[in-house]
Chain A
């Protein structure tokens, strides 16, 4: 336990400094105790829009990746060559850095990117401007698609192992008891998969919500995602406002703590059964 606390120590030090910084007690521009940074950030619409945007896009991208990962695991669970090839292929983007995914996304989805060029060649559009913007767009479609693509491999790999270890016996029991293949899928396979995938899905949502470079390169500037808002406040030239960033740092760390508690709670509940 004490050793595990050692791993978390840097985060706790970060929290401590962020608290002191947010209250104007430490930092290059600190002028003594003040609550102005806290009230300014909590009162700013951009703060709540940024948090809302980060959480909403993380949820949508995670949901898309979880459904895709689960579907891939169900579709290719056999032992035929196609199944084995599919299981190998799905893992390929797994260890790619986020910055690589963002580069690809810019090359493929931008208004002068590969998709736009293909549509032009097919006569569907006549100029780059006719291509709907998918990068830096208000809805964050390109951002969510990129994050989902990046996370499908991880969720697929988890889903494949969940099905392999927990699926067959329960499915066999259901079929012996007279369940149709369809009923077995929806009443046994999907619930088993969901239980095994839930902790992984929470972890993925945490990663996406905290993503910096992906959001920086692909997400819109209004609303600004929470990690970008934090960095922007930190980089501001107005020294008196720089400590605003520490309030946002605290909010980001607090969200992470809530997510970690949720994750362990889900795992503890299922371990207990």
Chain B
């Protein structure tokens, strides 16, 4: 009995959000207490294709892609180095890597703002990408330290003893072995940036308008239909990532 109720709750928790957002994105003049919208409109979806929502989605996509690639490239050697430490050094390094993840984003953003103004990147896409790279690199460094802990260091030692240069060890041995994890890490880095609000708000200075920021503004303005449409679009990459992760686990090695 309890199991069935829990299972039903899990079904609702997984499926209802998307349905609700979908309905709210097309419901017109849908006031309390109507359970279903009296009329429908597609104006917010048109805004997605041609207007502000679409533009915000493109900015978000560009920022998230760049963040994913940069933070992955930075985090891989860092995670590798952390994985080869032991004892208190390992814990100290993990704590350092976790710090940008744990720092409240608004505090991180305000703390970094002067530096970004001084570098003349405040209010630019480059600045926003650089800001997103900070927590994303922390996340991915922790992720890669886990991946490389599972990798036997003797494989790399062997390559080195056979005369491979450090770069050859990376390109010929390490990267091919963790190839699959790099895909996961890119997805993770993308999602960290894709969901980011406070860092974009502070470093982007209201000039760089990403999709989460657009949804945030619509919600504050009480434009629920537009907010729901943007929110629905925001769920697309996460769901794709989740499906890809599931398929990978099911597929034979």
Contact = CB atoms under 8 A, between A and B. Distances in A.
Given A1-B92, A99-B231, A245 B7 contact: no
Contact of B104 (A94, A118, A209, A261): A209
B21 A112 contact: no
Interface stretch (A33-41, A83-91, A186-194): A83-91
Contact of B234 (A6, A97, A226): A97
Q: Give chain B's interface residue range (CB within 8 Å of chain A).
A: 35 or more
Contacts of B31: 112
A233 B246 CA distance: 44
6 contacts: A8-B138, A89-B10, A92-B14, A104-B20, A106-B219, A263-B95
Interface stretch (B151-159, B173-181, B189-197): B189-197
B97 A4 contact: yes
Contacts of B242: 91-92, 94-95
A177 interface: no
Contacts of A13: 111-112, 115
Contacts of B134: 10-11
B238 interface: yes
Contacts of A141: none
Interface of B: 2-3, 6-7, 10-11, 13-14, 17, 20-21, 24, 31-35, 74-75, 77-78, 81-82, 85, 88-89, 91-100, 102-108, 110-115, 134, 137-138, 141, 191, 194-195, 197-198, 202, 212, 215-216, 219-220, 224, 227-228, 231, 234-235, 238-239, 241-242, 246
Nearest to A97: B195
Contacts of A114: 20
Nearest to A268: B91
A93 interface: yes
A91 B14 CA distance: 8
Contact of A99 (B93, B94, B216): B216
B111 A213 contact: no
A257 B115 CA distance: 21
Given A14-B111, A103-B219, A7 B99 contact: yes
A227 B137 contact: no
Contacts of B92: 1, 4, 264
B17 A6 contact: no
A109 B129 CA distance: 34
Q: Give chain A's interface residue range (CB within 8 Å of chain B).
A: 35 or more
A210 interface: yes
Given A1-B85, A264-B91, A268-B91, A15 B7 contact: no
Ordered nearest first, which 10 A-B pairs have the shortest CB separation? A14-B111, A210-B104, A97-B195, A95-B238, A252-B107, A4-B93, A112-B32, A92-B14, A120-B33, A8-B96
A6 to B, nearest CB: 7
What secondary structure prevails in chain A residues at the interface with B? helix
B228 A103 contact: yes
Contacts of A6: 78
B34 A117 contact: yes
A121 B33 contact: yes
Contacts of B227: 103, 106
A133 to B, nearest CB: 14
A116 B235 contact: no
A206 B239 CA distance: 25
Interface in A61-90: 71-72, 75-76, 82, 85-86, 88-90
A10 B235 contact: no
Contacts of A15: 111
A143 interface: no
A25 to B, nearest CB: 11
Given A3-B78, A99-B234, A252 B104 contact: yes
B95 A261 contact: yes
Contact of B110 (A75, A209, A245, A263): A245
A90, A103, A121, A212: residue with the most chain B Cβ atoms closer than 10 Å:
A103
A230 interface: yes
Given A112-B32, A210-B105, A212-B106, A102 B219 contact: yes
A174 interface: no
Interface string A228-259: 00110010000000000110111011011101
